[in-house]
Structure 1
Amino acid sequence: MWLERNRDWAGYVAILVLCGAAWGLGQPFAKIAVSEGYRHFGIIFWQFAIGAALLGAINLARGGRLPTASHHLAFYTIIALIGTLLPNSASYTAAIHLPSGILSIVLSLIPMLAFPIALAWGMDRFSAARLTGLVLGLCAILLIAAPQSSLPDRAMVWWLPLALIAPLFYAVEGNFVARYGTGGLDALQVLLGASLVGMVFAGPLALMTGQFISPLPPWGLPDLAIVASSITHALAYTAYVWLVTRAGSVFAAQVSYLVTGFGILWAKLILGETYSPWVWAAALLMMAGLVLVQPRKPTEAVAAQ
């Protein structure tokens, strides 16, 4: 029994690491996707389309269905807007101007920003430790923005507020789902439905703004980056949700550290980015803030032991 339980937990840790590594690729892939002129609406449309195709195949294989009642469609629409279309529009635009590693550090603010939103909505109680974590996260942003030598180009600092839009929307999304639930939908159905509805919004916006990306060859690195990021996100999200059901949400929440760490590592290995001591100090402050804002509820019992 002891050996079986430890084997299970070794598998959970491996999946957690893989999720962190996959999600950490998101920012370097975003940087590559915008490197030759592709812009947010065109990229987001294909992100929705590729995700819908992959998740639809998984849903079909498991014999699942996709509810389409009016309240389900409304929920898909909200998630598509606040979970992808709006935050990713900001992220892809910021990726044009900011280093990938900086974007990974900024995204670590999600659980910190979620805390004051939860307080405002009456969903959480005040915690001095978690407030301290939020302050540390904000100090990390100041370490990136304030020193003259923190960024390769001082003009980049004006794009930091745009980069902050994405974690703010993700924090709102998390609290929205926590407060209102998913209407009986599982996570795969939510992501599939949001992807399908998101295509309806992103497609016309891409066409009207001249940002539509033709799927016809020739294909370059930006095209491959869009496909790879869409697939890795869909698979990592599915694996993460499975991990929550098996190992508990508190254990799975530790992926936040891995996403930041891998995001910086991939940016260094793939893009050759280098950072000033101020940025490394900001990353350490952000990690410390994450430690303080992580939930402290007891880990749920592991299913099927």
Structure 2
Amino acid sequence: MALFLLIILGIDWASGYAIAGYCMTHGVNPYAYAFWQSFGPFVLLLIIQTLRRDLWLGKSGAVYAVLCGVFGIVIPNLLIYFAAKHIPSGLLTVLANIAPIFTYPLALMFRDERFSFLRMGLIALGIAGVAMIILPSQHDLTQELGNAWLYLALLIPLSYAFSAVYLSRFHPGQGSVLNYALWMLMVSTLCVSILAVINRGYYELAFGDTNSLLIILEILLSTIGYVLLFFILRMVGSVYYSLVNAVAVITGVVYGYFIFGQQFSWLTIIAVMVILFAILVLTYTQKNRAGYRHTSE
């Protein structure tokens, strides 16, 4: 059951990148899209948490939610929506889901992990895969932009990784995943609303409009994603969470090829396989380490 939910969540994530790619290339302002993708799930989670009577966070939890909201939602989401205009959705999904490659080095910096030659070797392998993707000769991007957006897109997984490490290292120890998601989305909605007003980023939802229908669909998918995350963490904990990234990478490439007709060179395909291998083995080593910690305690 847990594996099934992990696969569904990975497909959910990849679908979000595909929808964002379509909307960003069909006239939706990135700030407007970011607003709806914060405000919509916030309202739905508010209803869910009200029914569950689980709304309150303590002072430490509120500070935690603010920082995770900025680094886990606002920054990566805006980067995704702006980059979606310049990077094929399949490649963007791959780049956005390499957070496990950055998580371990950041965990070392925060002294939340011990040094391991094996894991550092896997990190180096994953970085090599990323380097193969962003080689200038691999993609037909505009001449004036070159590969600038590919490099900027690397800030997406870096932001996710920082949020994950902060979550692990400084978690207050109280509150459910859904409750933190609610507060994080509230912070995100406030931040993005200000940016949308300053930059005049508006998009009015209308019946019969394809973009509006996709925005509503993604609101539902995002909310479902938070609920799935809640159940997954309760069932198997965070050890296997990186598998979601692997599923999202595979699904994103499939979407890009079959739905959007995106072509990938053999070097890019090899790079994706290298990245997947690094993520999967990192997950395996993390599982063993978690098992060792559990038995030693």
Compute the TM-score of the two structures, normalised by the length of structure 2. Answer: 0.89
Q: Root-mean-square deviation (CA), in Å?
A: 2.0
Which of residues 80, 86, 106 is equivalent to 2:95? 106
Identity of aligned residues (%): 22
Q: Which residue of 2 aligns with 1:263?
A: 252
- The question of 1:96 aligning with 2:85 is answered yes
Letter in 2 for 1:297: R
Please give the alpha-carbon distance, in whole angstroms, between the structure 1 residues aligned to 2:149 and 2:61: 36
Please give the alpha-carbon distance, in whole angstroms, between the structure 2 residues aligned to 1:195 and 1:298: 30
1:225 is displaced (CA, Å) by 2.5
Please give the alpha-carbon distance, in whole angstroms, between the structure 2 residues aligned to 1:227 and 1:183: 33
- The question of 1:196 aligning with 2:186 is answered yes
- The question of 1:86 aligning with 2:78 is answered no
Q: Which residue of 2 aligns with 1:121?
A: 110
Please give the alpha-carbon distance, in whole angstroms, between the structure 1 residues aligned to 2:58 and 2:3: 38
CA contact (8 A) 1:108 1:286 kept: no
Letter in 2 for 1:66: L
Which of residues 168, 176, 185 is equivalent to 1:186? 176
Which of residues 228, 234, 238 is equivalent to 2:227? 238
Which of residues 26, 30, 33 is equivalent to 1:40? 30
Deviates more, 1:139-148 or 1:41-50: 139-148
Please give the alpha-carbon distance, in whole angstroms, between the structure 2 residues aligned to 1:291 and 1:77: 31
Q: Which residue of 1 aligns with 2:140?
A: 152
Please give the alpha-carbon distance, in whole angstroms, between the structure 1 residues aligned to 2:268 and 2:207: 38
Compute the TM-score of the two structures, normalised by the length of structure 1. Answer: 0.87
Please give the alpha-carbon distance, in whole angstroms, between the structure 1 residues aligned to 2:225 and 2:78: 21
Deviates more, 1:250-259 or 1:28-37: 250-259
Gaps in structure 2 of 5+ consecutive residues = 293-297
Letter in 1 for 2:201: Q
CA contact (8 A) 1:97 1:159 kept: yes
Give the direction of change, closer, same or farther, for the CA distance of 1:86–1:297 in structure 2 (3 Å limit): same
Letter in 2 for 1:91: I
Gaps in structure 1 of 5+ consecutive residues = 1-10, 301-305
1:98 is displaced (CA, Å) by 0.5
Letter in 2 for 1:280: I
Please give the alpha-carbon distance, in whole angstroms, between the structure 1 residues aligned to 2:91 and 2:192: 26
Paired residues for 1:16-95 under 5 Å: 16-61=6-51, 63-95=52-84
Please give the alpha-carbon distance, in whole angstroms, between the structure 2 residues aligned to 1:187 and 1:233: 14
Which of residues 123, 126, 136 is equivalent to 2:125? 136
Please give the alpha-carbon distance, in whole angstroms, between the structure 2 residues aligned to 1:145 and 1:232: 29
Q: Which residue of 2 aligns with 1:278?
A: 267
Q: Which residue of 2 aligns with 1:224?
A: 213
Please give the alpha-carbon distance, in whole angstroms, between the structure 2 residues aligned to 1:280 and 1:84: 29
